[in-house]
Amino acid sequence: MKRREVLRLLGSSALLATVPPFLNPNRVFAAQRSESGNFFFSPADIPRIQENRNTDLLEDHFQTMLRANLKEDKQFIKRAAGTKDLVREFARMQEILRREALVYLITGDKKRGDFALDIMRTIIKMPKWDYFLTGNETFGLQRAPGAVIYLLFTREALGDLIDQKLGKELLGQIAEKGCLPCYRALWGMEHKETVKNWHFDPEYMANYEINMERWPVILDETNLKAIPVTGLGLGALALEGIEPEAKEWLDMAVNSAKEYLQLFSPDGSYFEGMGYADYSLRNLILFMDAHQRIKGDVDWFDLANFYGLSEYLVCMQLGRDGNKPDVVNFSDARSTVHPITALWSADRGHDPLAQYAAQHYSSLFDFHDYLWYYPEQEAVPPSVSLKNKRFDLDIIVARTGWEKNDSMLAFKSGTPANHEHADRNSFIFKTFDERLLTDPFGAAYDWRQKTWLLRLTEAHNAVLIDGKGHQYNDGREGTNASLAEAKILRYVDRGDFIWWNSEATQAYHLVNEDVRFVMRSVLFIKPDVILVFDQLEKGDKPSRFSARFFPDNRDGKAKIQVHNNRFRIARPKANLFGKSLANVAVKAKKSKLDLPEKNGVFPFAEIIAAPGKQIQMVTVLKAQRIEDSGLPVIDIKKGEKEWAVTVNKLNVTIEVSGKLPEFLG
C-alpha cells in the first residue's frame, strides 16, 4: 500500500500518528541526484569516508586491512590468474580487490592502488566470471555480479590511476562477462517456463550434485535474485550511452529489485533469516543508492519496511559469542549483518534504532560500510516493547533484555523457506551467557554429506513420532523449501508471562498419514522457567512420541545427566533442569547424533513416551546459574481436564478442556 492510499483510507491527519513509520507520509523522499556521476560516493563524501577509519565501529577492521600480507596475496593473485575454482579462489580475488581499492581511497597509498590495478587487469583477462550455464551460455548468480560490483567500485576509488584504455576495456568486459550473464539469470527467473537447461559449468564447478531443473522458480523468490540485480543494474548504469542493451538491462534490474523487496514480510522480517537478508541487502543497497543518485525517480526506501527490518535485526540477537554478536540461528542463517544493512535505514529513514543496531549488533565489515557510516547520527537502543515479539513469519522471540546474562527464548513455527531446516515447533534458549538449548551449527549444504543430518528434525529441540521428524526435502535440488508447515494459533503476551500454541499436524502428516494432530504449547515465565506442553493424536496405530533437547556443545563442555523422567543439562555457567510427565509412562535418556567426531559431538536429552494414540506430555525446564546451590522443586500433577505444575513457589495450571490449551497462573 502506497502512502497516498494510506491517507485516503485514514481520511484524517489526526490518525497519522498510528501509521507505521515506513508508511508515514511525513518522511520526505529526497531524490539525491549525483552531479559527479559517481555510483558509490560523491567527492564531498571522501573526507568522511577517510575519517571513518578512526571510528569505534570500523577502526579494528581498517587496521586489519592495513596489516594484510601483501606478499602472500600477490602470490595468490598470480597463481589464481587462470583458476578454474570460481567458487573459492575467484571470491578471494574479489575480496582482495575491494580491500585494496578501499585502502587506496582512504590512504592514497599508491602501492595499494597499483595492486588493485593488477587485480583488475587479472580479472578482466579471465575467460569467465561465473560457473553456471544456461545451455552453453554463462549466467551469473554470485561471482559475475560480484565482479561487476567490485570492479566498478575499484574504478571509482582509483580514479585517475585508471587510464582511458583500461577504462574502456573494463566496461567492455563488464558488458560481456558481467551484465549479459546477470541478464540471462534474471530473464530465466522471469520466463521460468522456457528455461530447460540450467546447470553447473563442468569446466569450473563439479562440487555439487544438484538437479537445477526448477531453479528458475526457486531462485526467483530467494536472496540469490538480489545479487544479479545489483550486478546488472550497476553495469547498466555504467554502460548507458555505450551499449544499446543498457536501457533494457536497467529496466530489468529495476523491476527485479522491486519484485525482490516484496519478499520481505510487512513487518520487515525475512523468511530466509537475518544472514540472508544481509547478503541480499548489502549488495542491493549499492544499486538502489546508485540508481537514486543517477536517476532519482524511485523512492526505494518506501518499497519495504526497513524500520521493521531494524526491529527484526535487534530481536534476533542472542547476546555475544566471544567478541562477536550471537544470533538466533534458525535454519542456515547463523550470522548477523554488515553495518550497511542497518545504516541504510539509519540514513535514509533517520532511524535511531538502526544506527544503534549497526554500532552494536553488526559484524563482517566491508568497503560499503565506510561509505554509509555517519557517526553523528542519533542511536537509540531497543525499547521495552521489543522484548516480546511475534513476527509475521510465526517466529516468536521473548527476552528479559539484551545484556550478556539476560534470558532469551526463540521459537520457530511458520511456513517453508529456502535455506530452512526441518525445525517446526523447535526453540532456542539462552540465559546466563549460555546456549542451554541450541539449534546445532554446521549443517551441510550438500545432501551427500553426513552433516545433512543437522538439517533434520532429529537434530532440533522438537518432537519425533516413532523416531522420525516431519517432512523435509531430500537435497537433490539444493537447500530449497520443504512442504512442511506449522502455525501459531494463539499468542498471549502478558509481559513476563508469555505463551502460545503452535500446530504442526500437516508437517508430520506428510511423513505419517496416521497422524491426526500435533501441537506444541509453550509458556515462558521470565527469566528462567519454560513449560512445554506437547500433544499427539493418532488414527489407527499407537506411536512412540518423544521430545529432544540439545545443548550447545561446540566447545565440548556440555554434560547431560538423566534419571527416570528427569534430566539435567550442564554448561560451564549454568544448568538446565528438566522434568516430564505424560498420560502414559515416560523415561529420559541421553544420547548423541550418529555423526563422525570430526564433524562435532551433538549430545541430547530425550524424553520418550510409551506408545499411545492420544498423548499429552508436560516438560518443565528450569535454568540456574552454576553457582546456585540446591535443586529446583518441580511437581507435575494430572487432573481430569488440566495439569497442575509447581516450580519452586510458582504455580501454573494448563487448562485442556477447550480447543486450545491455556496457561493460567
What pLDDT is attached to residue 649?
Answer: 92
Rounded Cα–Cα distance for residues 461 and 466 (Å): 16
The DSSP output letter for 223 is G
348-401 pLDDT per residue, tens: 999 999 999 999 999 999 999 999 999 999 999 999 999 999 999 999 999 999
What pLDDT is attached to residue 209?
Answer: 84
Rounded Cα–Cα distance for residues 652 and 619 (Å): 13
CB 388 within 8 A of CB 495: yes
pLDDT at residue 646 tops 90: yes
What pLDDT is attached to residue 448?
Answer: 94
What pLDDT is attached to residue 473?
Answer: 94
Report helix, strand or coil for 117: helix
Rounded Cα–Cα distance for residues 392 and 314 (Å): 16
What pLDDT is attached to residue 431?
Answer: 98
State the amino acid at position 38 in one-letter form. Answer: N
Q: For residue 527, is the peptide bond before it cis, meaning its omega torsion is within 30 degrees of 0?
A: yes
pLDDT at residue 63 tops 70: yes
pLDDT at residue 2 tops 50: no
Rounded Cα–Cα distance for residues 367 and 156 (Å): 12
First to last CA, the chain: 41
227-269 pLDDT per residue, tens: 999 999 999 999 999 999 999 999 999 999 999 999 999 999 9
Reading the block at residue 586, the C-alpha cell is: 515416560
Judged by average pLDDT, the poorest of 4-13, 512-521, 581-590, 592-601 is: 4-13
The 10 Å Cβ neighbour count of residue 10 is 15
- Which string of DSSP letters, residue by residue, matches 588-621? EEEEE-S--GGG---EEEEEEEPPBSEEEEEEEE
What pLDDT is attached to residue 323?
Answer: 87
Q: What does the CA dihedral 528, 500, 336, 548 come to, rounded to 10 degrees? A: 70
Cell 535474485, located at residue: 225
Question: In degrees rounded to 5, what are phi and psi of residue 63?
Answer: -65, -35
387-626 is classed CATH 2.70.98.70 = yes
27-60 pLDDT per residue, tens: 444 444 455 579 999 999 999 999 999 999 999 9
The DSSP output letter for 374 is -
pLDDT at residue 480 tops 80: yes
Rounded Cα–Cα distance for residues 118 and 114 (Å): 6
Mean pLDDT of the chain, nearest integer: 93
Q: Where are the domains of the chain?
A: 55-263, 387-626
CA distances from 406 to 178, 317, 360, 431, 540 (A): 47, 11, 16, 6, 46
